[in-house]
Amino acid sequence: MTDALGLPPLGLGTAGIGNLYRPVTDAQAEALLDSAWDAGIRYFDTAPFYGLGRAEARLGRFLSGRREPVLVSTKVGRVLEPVDLDHVPEVGFAEPLPFAPRFDYSRDGLLRSFDDSVGRLGRVPDLLLIHDIGEMTHGTEGNAVHMAALRTGGFRALDELRSSGVRGIGIGVNEVAIGLALLEEVRLDAILLAGRHTLLDRSAGPLLRRAEAAGVAVIAAGVFNSGILATGARPDAKFDYAPASRDILDRVAGMERVAARHEAPLSALALQFPRRDPAVRTTLLGAASAGELAVSLADLERPVPTGAWDDLDAFTSTQKRAQ
């Protein structure tokens, strides 16, 4: 089943082939994309920020020789400025391309970002998402400035692009509040929400219900919360792009015990959880290698006893009451 945009139930996120946390060679990136293609995945999400252009360029090269219909989403909100190699900032991606990202949500900034992405991808993206708008990224004052830029030209630019080739517009964010606010202000086609509708963080409920009522597609991303729901509660686990706190480690360890009682890997439960909500049209898989993708695809097909969900719901409720 697909929605009006043609979003399928499954897609591949490309932060991994942008070298998130660790280097990935061109050959490894191509092997991952080949594996996704062979598995029938025809939706790929990317962004200029991923490797400062590297993920878009790799995805563009991969898709250039394929004629079968494919859906691509990318993001706007950052402009990449060329810099010397020794001036590339630390952005969380290993060996990024020689650019420095600059937030720009103005009309000119969004149009430039779009044009640059078209150049790297070799195609007009189907879905264009405003990236990382919200107070979580920019703070209250900074976000007010960026929202003003959107209101005075950015939104208009996106609407024009939607009328001239881009099939849909939306947001790609890590927070619920900005999604609720923008649903009241802009005609969105999709919301890509990372890390807020997961086994560990279930704060997305109000946004899911509002999006469903408005007919806006929700794309669930970051389903492992930056890794900890895949790795488990090990000392080096990451949560929301940073080392996991002791509280998070303890909560995940408790979830692992629940999963073990039902003989189900926590990673499988984490991947299948978002799909249980009717508002979620697509789940994005995050992988940096063909092997990681194979594990995720197998986890998605793994039978999960109903009792596992009931016990995890009960565990989560107990944790909330204890806080």
Continuous segment of H or E residues that includes residue 68: none
pLDDT recorded at residue 318? 81
Express each pLDDT in 164-217 by its tens digit. 999 999 999 999 999 999 999 999 999 999 999 999 999 999 999 999 999 999
Exposed, middle or buried, 240 (CB in 10 Å: 0-12/13-18/19+)? Answer: buried
Continuous segment of H or E residues that includes residue 320: helix 306-322
Q: What is the mean pLDDT of residues 260-286?
A: 96
pLDDT recorded at residue 2? 43
- What lies within 8 Å, CB to CB, of 124 at 6+ separation is 118, 165, 166
Backbone φ, ψ for residue 169 (5° rounding) = -125, 160
Torsion angle in degrees (nearest 10) through CA of 203, 207, 210, 211: -130
Indicate whether 26 pLDDT > 60: yes
Express each pLDDT in 138-160 by its tens digit. 999 999 999 999 999 999 999 99
Of 3, 34, 38, 75, which residue is the catalytic one? Answer: 75
pLDDT recorded at residue 64? 97
Q: What percent of the chain has pLDDT over 90?
A: 94
**What's the gap between Cα 126 and its chain centre?**
16
The reply to whether 50 belongs to the active site is yes
Indicate whether 4 pLDDT > 90: no
The secondary structure of residue 323, as a DSSP letter, is -
Alpha-carbon gap, residue 26 to 61, rounded angstroms:
10
Using DSSP, state whether 11 is helix, strand or coil: strand
Q: What is the mean pLDDT of residues 25-31?
A: 98
Choices 3.20.20.100, 3.90.700.10, 3.30.430.20, 3.40.50.2300: CATH for 10-223+273-288: 3.20.20.100
Using DSSP, state whether 240 is helix, strand or coil: coil
What value, to the nearest 5°, has the Cα angle with vertex 41 and ends 256 and 132? 70
Helices 155-162 and 107-121: crossing angle, nearest 10°?
A: 40
Q: What percent of the chain has pLDDT over 70?
A: 98
pLDDT band, very low/low/confident/very high, at 323 (cuts 50, 70, 90): low
The reply to whether 241 belongs to the active site is no
Domain boundaries, the chain: 10-223+273-288
Indicate whether 320 pLDDT > 80: no
Who has greater pLDDT, 67 or 270? 270
Of 50, 105, 116, 240, which residue is the catalytic one? Answer: 50
pLDDT recorded at residue 1? 34
The reply to whether 34 belongs to the active site is no
Structure tokens at 66: 């394929």
Of 45, 104, 116, 189, which residue is the catalytic one? Answer: 45
